[in-house]
Chains A and B, each alone.
Chain A
Amino acid sequence: MEKLTNALAARFASPTRSTRLTVVLGRWLGLSFTICFLTGLFSHGLQEPPSWMFFPTSPVWIYQLTQGIHVTTGIAAIPLLLAKLWSVYPELLKWPPVKSVAHGLERASIALFIASSLLQLTTGLINTYKWYPWPFPFRQTHYWLAWVIWGSLLLHIAVKLPLIIEHWRTRSGTAAGASAPVTDDGGAPQEPGRWSRRAFLAAVGVTTGAVVLTTAGQSFSWLDPFNLFAPRKMGTGPQAVPVNRTAADAKVADLAGAKDWTLTVSYQDTNRSLSLAELLALPQYEHELPIACVEGWSQTAIWRGVRIRDLVAFVGAPPSSSLRVTSLEPEGAYRTMDMPATYAQDERTLVALELNGQTLDLDHGYPARIIAPGRPGVLQTKWLNTVEVL
């Protein structure tokens, strides 16, 4: 067996591989995983707030930025992870597979790290395509695996720390340029046709740049011209704003189109129902706010409507109240939405009636929808039915 694995290892040997290469790739990957972890926790906190959660409303594009970074960095991590794993592949073939209890535990933790990272990146990407071919719930799995992955990263750094320190800098003296035919620090002479460590790293950098450049336009408007492979394109959809859940998907077309539609606002024993005409008769405000989806895409637009804080005052509730908002949607995870007081008080949080200068399209939530600064798109409830002051 040992002979076989040695022969295999020889087959997979490449002078491009070295500890230094692995350390450089590990730095990039560790940074990208950390960015994903932190921005992901922020997204989680906005959706399932713990009691101490803070809700930034300025800048209004805060969530657009953090979730755009989350998905873009996650995509960038795909080539980085592949390169990192390639650089350590011969480790997999070492024999015996387990030398001691500690060694066995270390390998088990690595296996968990690799498996969960591969799964996280693939399912994360495919989830943004609105395709869910797996037998487990995406969001919950993604959330708990994030802890496993980031914990594994720390543990992995702890185990490898001496090697990481030793190879953090190129060792002076043996530093070699990309095309230098001299011995690199891996100690391997460059054979004709092979590439050096630096050329390999440059290629990984270019690949990462290419996947970022061709997808990040869904989150960052200045990259829109290069948006070739993102599931969303800015400026598309009705009224030049993309739609995630259409009225047909949500089965609300009839209810939302009804002539006698009213928005009910309630606080304790006070109940006020407002027709669309009555809402339009209230003072109207206009704000430029982004709609920023959990899937990373976003779109800034001009919204016009009634301030939600005016409706809170309308039923005689204190300004620092939090709200429960219900959609006309008969079912769905986002039918009801809780709005912390921070948003309810913010003067830019609207019950929007118009989008980009036109009456709200049915797919954008006609007759009325919520738009608040800095919140995930799934919480910008469409086709409003009731607003309850809690």
Chain B
Amino acid sequence: MKPEMPTKAEKTAGAGNAVKILRIVLGAAGAALIGYGLLGLPTQLGPPQLLGLLVWMAVAVLLHDGVIVPVSTVAGGGLTRLGSGLRPASAAVLRGALMTGVVVTVIAGILLKAQSVARNTSALEGDYAAHLLWFWVVLAGLAAVLAYGIERTGPGRGEREQKTRP
């Protein structure tokens, strides 16, 4: 796990050496902390719990790499096609709004699920479904106004201005 590979940075002698030393120190410290954590786990978790943890970690990675990224890539491709008639700025506003909406919805979705299984009535008392609906209304409204405003301003004006800036 030691840093290897000579790099461009290392060729500039003095600075290169400092970087090299920093990498070795960081790498060694990092490996030591990882070891401390990994050795600590079995002192408090039994074999079935460790196995459960391993399974949960594997599922988390599979869900992320196998579902979340591919789905968002496909969605992004769709947006590229949809947005190609728009100015880059307003297409970006729509993409950004969708990103925000989806992440907030996932978090609120987990919250709603937790609410449905919670035994304690003193937590999770909000009407989260209604809140989510309101969130989307405000988000869509803001995004629409912004995108519309950008589309309305003269063609290419903003871009040319930006280009001449230092």
A85 within 8 A of B: yes
Assess the A195–B88 pair: CB atoms within 8 A: yes
> Is A265 close to B, CB under 8 A?
no
CA distance A116 to B82 in the complex (A): 36
Query: Which residues of chain A have C-beta atoms less than 8 A from B123's C-beta?
Result: 129-130, 231-232, 242, 244
A314 at the interface (CB under 8 A from B): no
Task: Tell whether A378 is near chain B: CB-to-CB under 8 Å.
Answer: no
B12-29 residues with Cβ-Cβ distance < 8 A to A are: 19, 22-27, 29
- Give B135's nearest chain A residue, CB to CB: A228
Q: How far is the CB of B65 from chain A (nearest CB, A)?
A: 6
B89 proximal to A (CB < 8 A): yes
Residues of A within 8 A of B3 (CB): 158-159, 161
**Of the candidates A12, A130, A140, which one forms a contact with B45 in the assembled complex, judged by CB atoms under 8 Å apart?**
A140
**Nearest chain-B residue to A37 (Cβ)?**
B33
Instruction: Give Cα distance in the complex from A141 to B57, angstroms.
Output: 12
Q: Which residues from chain B contact A179 at a C-beta distance below 8 Å?
A: 87-89, 92, 158-159, 162
B36-A147 in contact (CB<8A): yes
- A residues in contact with B27, CB < 8 Å: 154-155, 158-159
A 48-69 binary contact with B (CB < 8 Å = 1; else 0): 0000000000000000000000
B110 to chain A, nearest CB (A): 6
B163/A135 in contact, CB under 8 A: no
Task: Say yes or no for A79: interface residue by CB 8 A criterion.
Answer: yes
Contact A86 B95 (CB under 8 A): no
Which residues on B sit within 8 Å (CB–CB) of A152? Answer: 30, 34
- In the docked arrangement, what's the CA distance between A145 and B34, Å? 9
Interface residue SS majority, chain B:
helix
* Contact of B124 (CB < 8 Å), options: A130, A191, A227: A130
CA distance A50 to B43 in the complex (A): 17
Interface size class of A (residues with CB under 8 A): 35 or more
Q: Which residue of B lies closest to A209 (CB)?
A: B100
A101 to chain B, nearest CB (A): 10
Contact of B104 among A130, A141, A148, A214 (CB under 8 A): A214
Given contacts A179-B87, A195-B92, A228-B131, contact A141 B122 (CB under 8 A): no
* Contact assessment for B61 and A114 in the assembled complex, using a CB-CB cutoff below 8 Å: yes
Contact B7 A144 (CB under 8 A): no
Where the two chains meet, the residues of A that have a C-beta atom closer than 8 Å to any C-beta of B are 11-12, 14, 75, 78-79, 82, 85-86, 89, 92, 102, 105-106, 109, 111-112, 114-116, 118-119, 122-123, 125-126, 129-131, 133-137, 140-141, 143-159, 161-162, 165-166, 177-182, 190-196, 199-200, 202-204, 206-207, 210-211, 214-215, 227-233, 236-237, 242-244, 246, 249, 363
6 tightest A-B contacts by CB?
A151-B33, A155-B30, A147-B37, A154-B30, A203-B96, A135-B52
